Structure 1
Amino acid sequence: MRKITLKLLTRLPTKYGVTGLILIIFLFIYGIVGSYFIMGLNIIDSIYYAVITMATVGYGDYTPHTGIEKIFATTLALAGVALLAYVFNILLTNFQERMTEYSKGARKMKAINDMDDYYILCGFGRVGKVVFKELTQRNQNVIIIEKDENICQSIEECESVVVIQEDATEGDLITKLAGDKCNSVIISIGDDVSNLFIVLTIREQNPDVWIVSRASKIENISRLRKAGANKIVSPEIIGGQDLYFESTRPHLLRITTKHTFDKIFDEFEIIAKHGCTLENIDYHIPGIETPLTREIKTKDPVDGKKYQNYLNTHDDQRHAIDNLYKSTNNIHSHLISGPDKTTFDKLVEDLEKIEDIIGINLSNEEIAEITRKEIKE
């Protein structure tokens, strides 16, 4: 308890403490000078009289007689009482505040210890809020570390959400929390320098924890990766991709087809022949709405040939892709970008010659309903 008290007292705001100390010094000087010139005391007795009058002890060994002496003693006593009350009030108020903060901190640490596992979220800005929403929607335990007091107060805490007001770049709290119970550390601060420092700090003490960091600038992605981040997400890149897909949406075509593994390359040759780009492939598992997605992003037939040669020389990979087609009953969708609707019409016409086309621009819900019917059949 003694150590805690000393720690709290040493952390009191210096602004009020210094102000109180300066006022006490000025009043003490006033008391000594007044005692020497007004009361007619020597320097030692002046110091003594100033102290006992300021402290309102008043032993009675020195008594003011004249009017000026009484005025001096009165002002010194009143100022001493007011000033000491001011200083002690500051000390007690701040001590109480610090004790309250310490009690809150203890409760937060107990709540963290009671969690079986959790995610650490550093930074609660625009990106951090989105991440937090995704985590809470999935009933995950979240520890938020944010240095802004107003932001911390705006977050509602509960058994699964603990908010810690602290700068993640200072101290070692985050390294202690990023232990065995930590599923992942998500760093969403807008400053890449701070993100880099946090990654280095965590990785130094926790070599196995999974770290996901935000990168505001593309050129910092490699630095964050070298520092130890397992995954780097750039809102700039994601935003650019979203803008691209939204701008090309009138020139995007989703074709849901059903064919066996051996038709892959014939299909791709037709897509490339029409100058279209195969953006990705969605594999629809029967009865499940969300598909498995492979990102392709190519229009070059050479890439198709390379992949074909790779599968021809790697039996295990060939069997894996073949099994994937079988597990989806050969139903999958291609997201294709192209120059115009006329090209898409010709593309669909050529694809119909080699495979069964289930539908055009079907939603995942519609495709899931189709696969459910196949299960029943």
Structure 2
Amino acid sequence: MRKITIRILTKLPTRYVTTGLILIIGLFIYGIVGSYFIMNLNLLDSIYYSIITMATVGYGDYTPHTGIQKIFATTLALSGVALLAYVFNVMLTSFQEKMSAYSKGARKMKKISDLEDYYIICGFGRVGKVVFDELTKRNQNIIVIDKDEEVFENIEETDSVVTIHRDAIEDNLIAKLAGKKCNSVIVSTGDDVNNLFIVLTIRESNSDAWIITRASRIENISRLKKAGANKVVCPEIIGGQDMFFESTKPHLLRITVKHTPNELYDEFKIINKYGCSLENIDYHIPGVETPLTRDIGVTKLADGKCYQNYLETHDDQKQALKNLYKATHNIHSHLILGPDKKTFEKLITDLKEIEEIIGINLTNEEIAKITGKEDLD
């Protein structure tokens, strides 16, 4: 308790303490000058008289007689009382605020110690808020850390949400929290230097921590990875990819098909024949609306051949693919990028010769209804 009290007193607001000291010094000078010229005392007695009058001690060894002396003594005493009351009030108020903050902080740390499997978000800006919303939708335990207290105005603390208004690297706070009970740390401040330092702080004492960090600039991605981040997300890249897919929507075809792994290469040869590229594959689990998605982005026939050779020489991977096809009843969707509608029509015609086409541009909901039927086998 003694250490906490000393720590609090050393952190009193500097501006208030400075103002109080200036006023005390000013009043003390006023007392000395007035005592010397009005009370007709020497310098040493003027200092003594100023102190005992400001402190309202008043031993009575020097008594004002004239009107001006009484006015001077009264103003000095009243000013001393008011000033001392002001200084002590500032100190007491600040002490109470600090004690309240420490008490609140202790309660938060107790609450955190009771949390299991939580996520930490460092930086609650635009990116951090999106992550927070996604985690909240999934009823996850979340700890939000940010230096700016205003960002917490719209966050309601619950049994699963804790907010901490502190610098993440202060007292190695983030390193202490990123322990075994932490699922992941999302570092989402807008400053890559801060992100780098936070990642280093965590990784220094938590070799197993899973760290996702934001990179505001593409050139900093490699630096953040070297610092220890498991994944680095750059909004510039994601934004560019989103713009690309939006721009290609008139030239994208989602075709839902049914075939075995044996037709993979034949299928890709047809896609490549018409100058199209395979962007991704969605594997549809029966009755489940959200598919398993694999990003492909393949345009060269050699890539397809290389993958076929890989499967032929790796039995475990080939068996895993067969198991996936079996679990989805061989139903999956291809997102294909092509030049125009006429090309897609020719592509569909050729694909019909080697596989069953279930539908074109179907939604996940429509596909889930189809795969949910029991007579697919």
Q: TM-score, normalised by structure 2?
A: 0.97
Unaligned runs of 5+ in 2: none
Cα shift at 1:44: 2.6
How far apart are the structure 1 equivalents of 2:61 and 2:266? 114
* Residue of structure 2 in register with 1:333 after alignment: 333
Deviation at 1:37, TM superposition (A): 2.4
Bigger shift: residues 42-51 or 339-348: 42-51
Alignment of 1:63-74 (within 5 A): 63-74=63-74
Q: State the alpha-carbon separation in 1 of the partners of residues 164 and 132 from structure 2.
A: 14
Question: In the alignment, is the contact (CA less than 8 A) between 2:189 and 2:214 conserved in 1?
Answer: yes
Instruction: Give the fraction of aligned pairs with identical amino acids, expressed as a percent.
Output: 73
Rounded to whole Å, the distance in 2 between the matches of 1:247 and 1:163 is 40
**Aligned residue identity for 2:57:** V
Alignment of 1:89-168 (within 5 A): 89-168=89-168
Superposed, which structure 2 residues align to 1:185-204 within 5 Å?
A: 185-204=185-204
Find the aligned partners of 1:351 and 1:225 in 2 and give their Cα distance.
42
- Corresponding residue number in structure 1 for 2:46: 46
Contact 2:212 2:232 in 1 (8 A): yes
The question of whether the paired residues in 2 share the 8 Å contact of 1:280 and 1:293 is answered with yes
* Residue aligning to 2:224: 224
CA distance in 1, matches of 2:249, 2:153: 41
Equivalent in the alignment of 1:286: 286
Residues 329 and 376, structure 2, Cα contact 8 Å, conserved in 1: no
Letter in 2 for 1:206: N
Q: TM-score by structure 1 length?
A: 0.97
Deviating runs (4+, > 3 A) in structure 1?
Answer: 374-377
> Residue 70 of structure 1: CA displacement?
1.2
Q: Which residue of 2 aligns with 1:15?
A: 15
Q: Does residue 173 of the first structure (1) align with residue 173 of the second (2)? A: yes
Distance in 2 between the 1:309 and 1:115 partners? 49
Amino acid at match of 1:132: F
- How far apart are the structure 1 equivalents of 2:267 and 2:294? 16
Deviation, 1:339, is 0.5
Judge conservation of contact 2:116–2:182 (CA < 8 Å) in 1.
Answer: no
The range that moved more, 313-322 or 354-363, is 313-322
Deviation at 1:67, TM superposition (A): 1.8
CA RMSD of aligned residues (A): 1.3
Does residue 75 in structure 1 map to residue 103 in structure 2? no
Distance in 1, Cα, partners of 2:376 & 2:99: 66
Query: Residue 242 of structure 2 aligns to which amino acid in structure 1?
Result: D
Report the Cα distance in structure 2 between the residues aligned to 1:39 and 1:260, rounded to whole angstroms: 109
Q: Matched residues in 2 for 1:356 and 1:258: separation?
A: 5
Displacement, 1:33? 2.1
CA deviation string 1:147-189 (max 9, x = no partner): 1121123321111111101122433111111111111100111
SS at match of 1:325: helix
Distance of 2:74 and 2:210 partners within structure 1: 69
Question: In 2, distance between residues paired with 1:96 and 1:330?
Answer: 68
Letter matched to residue 277 of structure 2? T
Distance 1:245 1:300, change over 3 A: same
How many residues matched? 377
Instruction: Indicate yes or no: 2:236 matched with 1:239.
Output: no
Counterpart CA distance in 1 for 2:38 and 2:281 is 97
CA distance, structure 2, for counterparts of residue 146 and residue 153 of structure 1: 12
- Please state how far the C-alpha of 1:5 moved relative to its aligned partner: 1.4
- Matched letter for residue 60 of structure 2: G
Cα deviation, residue 375, structure 1: 5.5
Query: 1:332-370 CA distances to partner (integer Å, 9 max, x unpaired)?
Result: 111001010000000000101111101101111111111
User: Partners in 1 of 2:38 and 2:259 — Cα distance?
Assistant: 110
- Return the offset for 1:376: 7.6
What is the aligned partner in structure 2 of residue 206 from structure 1? 206
Indicate the residue corresponding to 1:263 in structure 2. Answer: 263
Say whether the 8 Å CA contact 1:254–1:334 is kept in structure 2: yes
- Tell me, yes or no, if the aligned pair for 1:287 and 1:375 is still in contact at 8 Å: no
CA contact (8 A) 2:325 2:331 kept: yes
